[in-house]
């Protein structure tokens, strides 16, 4: 029987391991707490107390890296407890600011110039969502970069420390897969908003080139920092798709970002590591580009955006490792055990022959149910043994 | 000459040439060429029909849809004040908002922009819209359709709440409900009791057009 590392690495080489590996996308504290049986901290009540809000903001800002380490330490513990072979790990640099516009009166401003709202979901969990950019104009963007120069260095240093510490402490029990989480496309448009960005693409192409070049350099350093943790595989990504297709024409994406993506692949491959690429949305029209840019695999394949594993495998063959595709809008939130088992069998049938498939949820959010994740893993162990016979 | 300026207006939009499109609109406004504002508005509408077809055929993508919509909006803002009252007949009123808990508005705004150019009177309820605000909008504006946008899986239960509340307040049979957004699917729409699911703004506009003529 293989261990988790052999299982994942064999799969990434498009060879058949002992059984289909299962990767966790646990990131939200609410999910980790439920799996680990930890009573959730009632941060929401504290945030609603005006006397405590400022204090919590200051504590979060002064201990940001520790909080993130704690989150992903718990995420890895939770993933180990459920039996995942790997789980993603993320570092990002954000500043908590008071903002009465939002439900809890707090927003997060990240290093890429984006505003994230902190709010509670229907179950009372804290969730954060991207809302808008802080740099709607060219002048705003240049000012943002100048003002944050020292913090970009801080991001790189902290990211290296974060991923190294997680790898040191957990890689004997699970494969932590460092994820950059913010891609070049996202960081370029989200700092100014999609509508503004598209106007700039057509009306100020030189400015857009500057933004992309800056973000590419930062991304390369960020990815390099993750690779200092001596992980075998890294996760890059950019949400290039939306519900019905790519956010931009593939030839325009190639023109604006193609060279950046090639440079990223070369950087990873020079260090003999594998590069897995995350993209939400409907990305059939970009799959051939992913191969051309040198990605080793893709993760997500959102079923709610029409992505089907069988179709993806048919289109790209074994030129890409495939990870994900299990639905998180219904199946892993409130699906029955039979439905989860059927979905796992279908995924294995559609993509696992010959290796090159890692079973996983398509994404994560706080309403993904740990029991459904357990059913997913159980079904993978039951039906995922090679040679595949489902 | 008149045809030439209308062609410039239409082709500018279809070639994503903002300057040429705006120049044509300004030329019409100044009265350089004998073209009515109504003819100019119709040319913009025709161009957006072609944009929609290109999007649905997979030739154009979200970026082109957004940018052509922004050019059309700029041009319509120039032309609309000069339209005589009653010169164009509204295709119907549609109230649209992003559900409670969700602050995303890109998809909603594209839909509003696109449907407005197709002749609909669009009532923008904004983002993070509580259930009662949707209900109040149906009572006040008596729209042909109520649109709800939802990007986040964490907020999709809000759609069912609004539809249930429409039923409780005896309004469900008075308005069609159309939903769209990354978190949603056709199956979700059926389960929640919506009349239609729109995967994109162009399809959404096609659906409300069908309701408008029914």
Q: What is the pLDDT of residues B160-195, one digit of tens each?
A: 999 999 999 999 999 999 999 887 889 999 999 999
Q: Which of B18, B188, B200 sits opposite A244 (nearest CB)?
A: B200
Segment of A226-230, A256-260, B74-78 carrying the highest mean pLDDT: A256-260
| B104 neighbourhood in chain A, CB within 8 Å | 129, 131
Chain segment A191-213, per-residue pLDDT in tens: 999 999 999 999 999 999 999 99
Contacts of A205 (CB under 8 A, 6+ apart): none
pLDDT at B84 over 70: no
Distance CA A115, CA A131 (A): 6
Residue A310 lies in a domain: yes
Q: Find the residue in B nearest to A305 (Cα).
A: B182
Q: Which of A122, A195, A247 sits opposite B61 (nearest CB)?
A: A247
Q: Mean pLDDT score of chain B, rounded to an integer?
A: 91
The three-point CA angle B188-B199-A339 to 5° equals 35
Q: Which of A129, A281, A333 sits opposite B152 (nearest CB)?
A: A129
Q: Which of B67, B101, B182 sits opposite A199 (nearest CB)?
A: B67
Report pLDDT for A230. Answer: 79
Copy the structure tokens of residue A264: 């990223």
**Smallest CA–CA separation between A283 and chain B, in Å?**
12
| B13 neighbourhood in chain A, CB within 8 Å | none
Overall domain count for chain A = 1
pLDDT at A122 over 90: no
Q: What is the CA radius of gyration of chain A?
A: 20
**Smallest CA–CA separation between B87 and chain A, in Å?**
31
Q: Note if the bond before A387 is cis, omega within 30 degrees.
A: yes
> For chain B, which residues lie within 8 Å of any Cβ of chain A, measuring from their own Cβ?
16, 18, 58, 60-64, 66-67, 70, 101-104, 106, 109, 152-157, 181-185, 187-188, 199-200
Mean pLDDT of the region A21-25: 98
The three-point CA angle A140-A141-A146 to 5° equals 100
Chain segment A44-69, per-residue pLDDT in tens: 888 888 888 899 999 999 999 999 99
Residue A203 lies in a domain: yes
Is B183 or A111 the better-scoring residue by pLDDT?
A111
Give A42's pLDDT tier (boundaries 50, 70, 90): confident
Copy the structure tokens of residue A119: 């709010």
Residue A197 lies in a domain: yes
Give B86's pLDDT tier (boundaries 50, 70, 90): low
Report pLDDT for B171. Answer: 97
pLDDT at B1 over 60: no
Q: Find the residue in B nearest to A241 (Cα).
A: B62
Could you give the percent of chain B with pLDDT greater than 90?
62
Chain segment A141-159, per-residue pLDDT in tens: 999 999 999 999 999 999 9
B182 and A304 within 8 Å at the Cβ level: the answer is yes
| A119 neighbourhood in chain B, CB within 8 Å | 101
Q: Which of B18, B62, B103 sits opposite A117 (nearest CB)?
A: B103
pLDDT at B16 over 60: yes
Give B82's pLDDT tier (boundaries 50, 70, 90): confident
Residue A378 lies in a domain: yes
Residue A329 lies in a domain: yes
Pick from B72, B133, B74: nearest CA to B98: B133
A242 and B62 within 8 Å at the Cβ level: the answer is yes
Report pLDDT for B87. Answer: 62
Chain segment A208-257, per-residue pLDDT in tens: 999 999 999 999 999 999 998 878 899 999 999 998 899 999 999 999 99
CATH assignment of the domain containing A342: 3.20.20.210
Q: Which of B61, B106, B185 sits opposite A304 (nearest CB)?
A: B185
Sheet bearing A106-110, strands edge to edge:
A94-98, A106-110, A114-120, A126-133
DSSP states of A362-379: S---TT--HHHHHHHHHH
A182, A202, A205, B64 from A199: Cα distances, Å: 22, 5, 9, 10
Owning domain of residue A178: 4-37+65-93+136-383
Mean pLDDT of the region A85-113: 94
Give B85's pLDDT tier (boundaries 50, 70, 90): low
A304 and B106 within 8 Å at the Cβ level: the answer is no
B103 and A129 within 8 Å at the Cβ level: the answer is yes
A247 and B154 within 8 Å at the Cβ level: the answer is no
Taken in order of first residue, the domains within chain B and their CATH numbers are 2-82 (1.10.1240.10), 92-213 (3.40.50.280)
A31, A365, B103 from A123: Cα distances, Å: 12, 12, 18
Is A383 or B201 the better-scoring residue by pLDDT?
A383
Could you give the percent of chain B with pLDDT greater than 70?
97
Give A286's pLDDT tier (boundaries 50, 70, 90): very high
Positions of E strands within chain A: 22-24, 86-90, 94-98, 106-110, 114-120, 126-133, 175-179, 233-237, 241-242, 245-246, 274-279, 297-300, 321-324, 357-360
Terminal-to-terminal C-alpha distance of chain A: 20
Q: Report DSSP state, residue A19.
A: B
**Smallest CA–CA separation between A243 and chain B, in Å?**
6
Pick from A374, A362, A216, A254: nearest CA to A302: A362
Q: Which of B154, B188, B200 sits opposite A366 (nearest CB)?
A: B154
Phi, psi angles (nearest 5°) of residue A360: -165, 160
A367 and B182 within 8 Å at the Cβ level: the answer is no
Give B155's pLDDT tier (boundaries 50, 70, 90): confident
Q: Find the residue in A nearest to B153 (Cα).
A: A329
- Are A323 and A299 spatial neighbours (Cβ–Cβ below 8 Å)? yes
**Which run of H or of E encompasses A22?**
strand A22-24
Residue A88 lies in a domain: yes
**Smallest CA–CA separation between A248 and chain B, in Å?**
5
Pick from A250, A266, A177, A278: nearest CA to A216: A266
Distance CA A31, CA A87 (A): 13
Chain segment A355-372, per-residue pLDDT in tens: 999 999 999 988 899 999
Q: Find the residue in B nearest to A242 (Cα).
A: B182
Residue A213 lies in a domain: yes
Mean pLDDT of the region B115-141: 94
Give B2's pLDDT tier (boundaries 50, 70, 90): low
B88, B98, B100 from B172: Cα distances, Å: 29, 19, 19
Residue A49 lies in a domain: no
Write down the residue that tokens 């922004």 correspond to.
Answer: B70
- Are B131 and B166 spatial neighbours (Cβ–Cβ below 8 Å)? no
């Amino acid at each position: 029987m293989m261990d988790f590392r052999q299982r994942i690495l064999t799969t990434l080489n498009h060879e058949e391991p002992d059984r289909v590996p299962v990767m966790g996308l646990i990131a939200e504290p609410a999910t980790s707490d439920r799996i680990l049986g930890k009573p959730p901290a009632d941060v929401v009540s504290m945030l609603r107390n005006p006397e405590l809000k400022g204090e919590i903001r200051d504590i979060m800002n002064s201990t940001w890296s520790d909080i993130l380490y704690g989150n992903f330490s718990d995420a890895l513990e939770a993933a180990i407890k459920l039996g995942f072979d790997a789980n993603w790990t993320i570092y990002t640099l954000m500043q908590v600011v008071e903002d009465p516009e939002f439900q809890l009166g707090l927003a997060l401003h990240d290093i890429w110039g984006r505003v994230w709202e902190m709010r509670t979901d229907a179950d009372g969990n804290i969730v954060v969502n991207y809302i808008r950019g802080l740099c709607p104009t060219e002048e705003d963007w240049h000012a943002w970069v100048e003002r944050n120069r020292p913090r970009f260095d801080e991001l790189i240093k902290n990211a290296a420390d974060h991923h190294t510490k997680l790898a040191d402490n957990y890689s004997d029990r699970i494969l932590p897969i460092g994820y950059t989480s913010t891609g070049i496309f996202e960081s370029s448009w989200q700092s100014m908003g999609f509508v503004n960005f598209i106007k700039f693409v057509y009306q100020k192409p030189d400015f857009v080139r500057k933004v992309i070049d800056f973000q590419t350099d930062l991304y390369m350093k960020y990815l390099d920092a993750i690779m200092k943790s001596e992980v075998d595989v890294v996760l890059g990504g950019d949400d290039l798709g939306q519900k019905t297709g790519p956010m931009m024409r593939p030839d325009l994406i190639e023109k604006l970002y193609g060279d950046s993506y090639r440079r990223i692949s070369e950087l990873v491959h020079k260090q003999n590591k594998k590069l897995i690429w995350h993209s939400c949305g409907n990305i059939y029209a970009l799959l051939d580009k992913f191969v051309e840019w040198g990605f080793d695999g893709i993760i997500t394949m959102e079923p709610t955006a029409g992505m089907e594993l069988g179709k993806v495998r048919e289109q790209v063959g074994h030129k890409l490792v495939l990870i994900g595709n299990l639905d998180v809008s219904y199946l892993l939130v409130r699906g029955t055990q039979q439905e989860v088992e059927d979905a796992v069998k279908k995924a294995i049938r559609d993509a696992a022959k010959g290796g090159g498939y890692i079973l996983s949820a398509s994404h994560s959010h706080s309403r993904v149910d740990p029991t459904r994740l357990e059913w997913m893993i159980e079904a993978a162990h039951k039906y995922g043994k090679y040679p595949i016979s489902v | 000459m008149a045809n030439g300026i209308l062609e410039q207006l239409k082709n500018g939009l279809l070639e994503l040439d903002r300057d040429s499109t705006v120049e044509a609109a300004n030329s019409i406004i100044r009265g350089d060429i004998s073209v009515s504002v109504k003819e100019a508005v119709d040319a913009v509408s025709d161009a957006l029909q072609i944009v929609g077809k290109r999007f649905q055929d997979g030739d154009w993508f979200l970026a082109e849809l957004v940018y052509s919509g922004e050019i059309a909006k700029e041009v319509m803002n120039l032309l609309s004040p000069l339209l005589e009252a009653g010169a164009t007949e509204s295709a119907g009123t549609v109230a649209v908002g992003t559900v409670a808990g969700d602050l995303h508005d890109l998809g909603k705004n594209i839909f509003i922009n696109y449907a407005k150019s197709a002749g609909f009177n669009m009532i923008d309820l904004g983002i993070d819209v509580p259930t009662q605000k949707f209900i109040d909008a149906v009572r006040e504006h008596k729209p042909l359709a109520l649109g709800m946008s939802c990007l986040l899986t964490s907020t999709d239960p809000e759609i069912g709440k609004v539809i249930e509340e429409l039923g409780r307040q005896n309004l469900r049979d008075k308005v069609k409900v159309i939903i769209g957004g990354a978190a949603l699917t056709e199956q979700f729409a059926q389960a929640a009791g919506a009349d239609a699911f729109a995967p994109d703004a162009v399809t959404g506009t096609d659906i409300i057009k069908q309701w408008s003529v029914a």
